[in-house]
Amino acid sequence: MKACILPSPAPIESNPLQFKDVPQPKPTGTQVLVRVNACGICRTDLHVIEGELAPRKSPIIPGHQVVGIIEAVGEGAKQHDIGTRVGIAWLHSTDGTCEYCRAGKENLCNDPTFTGWTVNGGYAEYALAEDSFVYPIADGFDDLKAAPLLCAGIIGFRALRLSTIERGGRLGLYGFGAAAHVAIQVAQHWGAEVYACTRDERHQKLALGLGAKWVGGSVSEPPVKLDSAIVFAPAGEIVPAALKALRKGGTLALGGIHMSTIPPLDYDLLYQERVVRSVANNTRQDGYDFLKVAAEIPVHISTEVFPLEKANKALNALKNDAIRGAAVLKIR
């Protein structure tokens, strides 16, 4: 099969992904084999490719927003029929037995695997998944629009939940890429007002087009105090600005898996019971709940589509803030 494979981490400017033929995987046990139609590109892929996330498997096929059709199943995979259209997300498997899994916090599992980091992902014509970790995809979304739902969408949704935003509340979104452009639609569906801070003018326009009350630069101060905020940009220097924008008792959720160093904070920014918390992965329940609300709204996904062999180009564009909405690889 054709795949884009990363021999070892390197700056994306050096175009490190190699487009080539690799053996097609075979499902065993509880695995399913998915014939990939589309794979979304996530900033986490960039962190894997550039080595900000230390390599866990090398070489690796990145990609964890995979949409395709189940073409074959292992002898123990009983949950989905061959021919079902499914999504594969970042959380590839958990041990199911650790204290976190038993407490319903499988996103914090002690022994998880991750698609496109610890096991091969979807920058390829075929990918393996665990049958209990794939998500059936509603008919309303075509393959290209469904792919960004699987990480940008689900993680954005979990970040919204952890931000504790409520109906009628004011929410700040810092960074307006793939995750934020979905999260704003869910937040507004819940009756919240959204204030978007992002350095890129195209992203500001996208936010306004999606109904943001106000847009400003990445550390601009919104005109009102916010109840909740989410930082999607991987830039630690945004954290003090976002805290400054919060009212007393407000919550700041950090949506990324990697962030540059957060500068020293004046305690005044945190005092008055403001909360800062990170968002780590997602539970399958987050995924089911998000995909349900995404279909109800239905969320509108802006995509920029690239062929598989142009993955390096797409990732360079992502690094330079040149993607409006979500970048997606069209495999078939």
Binding site for Zn ion (CB under 5 A): 42, 44, 94-95, 98, 101, 109, 151
Q: Which residues on neighbouring strands pair with residue 99, listed in sequence order?
A: none
What are 277's two structure tokens?
């918390």
Which CB atom, from 121 or from 216, has the smaller least distance to Zn ion?
Answer: 121
Which CB atom, from 4 or from 101, has the smaller least distance to Zn ion?
Answer: 101
- Rounded to a whole number of angstroms, the minimum distance from the CB of residue 257 to Zn ion is 8
- Rounded to a whole number of angstroms, the minimum distance from the CB of residue 179 to Zn ion is 8
- Rounded to a whole number of angstroms, the minimum distance from the CB of residue 295 to Zn ion is 20
Buried/exposed code over 11-36 (b: 16+ C-beta within 10 A; e: otherwise): ebeeebbeeeebeebebeebbbbbbb
Which CB atom, from 95 or from 309, has the smaller least distance to Zn ion?
Answer: 95
- Rounded to a whole number of angstroms, the minimum distance from the CB of residue 56 to Zn ion is 15
What are 28's two structure tokens?
């065993």
Q: What is the DSSP letter of 133?
A: G
- Rounded to a whole number of angstroms, the minimum distance from the CB of residue 92 to Zn ion is 12
Which CB atom, from 94 or from 303, has the smaller least distance to Zn ion?
Answer: 94
CA separation for the pair 312, 210 (Å, rounded): 29
Which CB atom, from 63 or from 68, has the smaller least distance to Zn ion?
Answer: 63
Which CB atom, from 176 or from 214, has the smaller least distance to Zn ion?
Answer: 176
Which CB atom, from 102 or from 300, has the smaller least distance to Zn ion?
Answer: 102
Is residue 184 within 8 Å of residue 229, measured between CB atoms?
no
87 — phi, psi (to 5°)? -115, 145
What are 106's two structure tokens?
């499988």
Buried/exposed code over 64-82 (b: 16+ C-beta within 10 A; e: otherwise): bbbbbbbebbbeebebbee
- Rounded to a whole number of angstroms, the minimum distance from the CB of residue 200 to Zn ion is 19
Angle at 297 between CA 295 and CA 303, to 5 degrees: 75
Q: Which residues on neighbouring strands pair with residue 195, listed in sequence order?
A: 172, 214
Angle at 204 between CA 201 and CA 206, to 5 degrees: 115
- Rounded to a whole number of angstroms, the minimum distance from the CB of residue 331 to Zn ion is 17
